[in-house]
Each structure stands twice: as C-alpha cells, then as structure tokens.
Amino acid sequence: MADDKKTVDEVLDEAVLDAEEDLAEVKDSLAKAHSAMESARISMREAYGKAKVVSGEAADKTRVYLDDAKKYLAQAREQMSTLAAKTREQAEILYGKARQQYDSLSSHARENYGKMKDKIAEVDFKDKGDQVLAYIKDNPGKSVLIALAAGFLVGYIARPRD
C-alpha cells in the first residue's frame, strides 16, 4: 500500500535506477562479447600464414571464442528484454498514477467552477455598480489613488520584458 503513496517523480527515480542497473549488466555482457570477438580476431591473425595443423588449432580456438561471444550476446539480449519489460511496467504504473491525479484535479476544478458560477449568479451587478458610484462620490480622493495604483499595477504586469 506504501507503493500507492509514491509520487510520479519517486516512481520515475526508481525506474531510472532499475534501468541503470540493467544497462550496466547489458554493458558488461556486451564488453565480454567484444572481448571474445577481439580474441577471435587475434587468434585468426596468429593463424594467418602458419601450417595447416596450426591453422586447425587456431580455427578450433576461434570457434570456442565465437561460441563465447554468442553466449554473451544471448545474455545481453535476455537482459535487454527484461529491461524493456520493467520499463513498460513502470510506464503503465506512471500512466495510472498520472491519470488518477488528472481525474482528481479535473473533478476539483469542475466542483470549484460550479461553486464560482453559483456565486457569480447570486451577485447583483447593478447594485454593486451603484455602491461603487456612491463610494466614488463620497471619497473622490481615495478613488483616484486606488484607480492610479490599479493602473500602475496592470501596466507593470502587462509591460513587455526583454
């Protein structure tokens, strides 16, 4: 159940760590395969120009090295398949969590929109306008200062920046 409490970032961090570990194993297998291929190449180079018996021994050595390379490449393929499966699982988990968060946020947004719509519908704008005009008539100095401050603030926010 603690797994359900993880954030998307925590799950992503875990996925990255798993992927790095798996990639390290893949790199190791590929390095071993490369080493085996290099040994095979060296063995073939040594056999070049020697007698048929020596060449046969070199060919046998080469076969052994190539078999090793084949084995290590198969291991790398299996590890890559495992890594792909883990990544797919993590992506599905992340998608599920993101979807839950989206659904929750959209539900809250709908609720808040409905509440705000109801509150706005309750406001009598004509009455509010009359109250504002009465305040302006009663307090002309304050009204001019408030309008000036509001204009400055809007101008400051709306100005283009380089």
* Cα–Cα distance for residue pair 29/149, rounded to 1 Å: 69
At residue 1, the pLDDT reads 44
Read off the tokens for 58.
Answer: 């070199």
In the predicted structure, residue 3 carries a pLDDT above the cut 70: no
Domain residue extents for the chain: 2-123, 124-162
> In this structure, how many other beta carbons lie within 10 angstroms of the beta carbon of residue 66?
15
pLDDT digits (tens, 9 = 90+) for 12-41: 788 888 888 888 888 888 888 888 888 888
- The lowest-confidence range among 14-28, 63-77, 84-98, 100-114 is 14-28
* Cα–Cα distance for residue pair 138/130, rounded to 1 Å: 12
Confidence (pTM): 0.47
pLDDT, averaged across the chain? 85
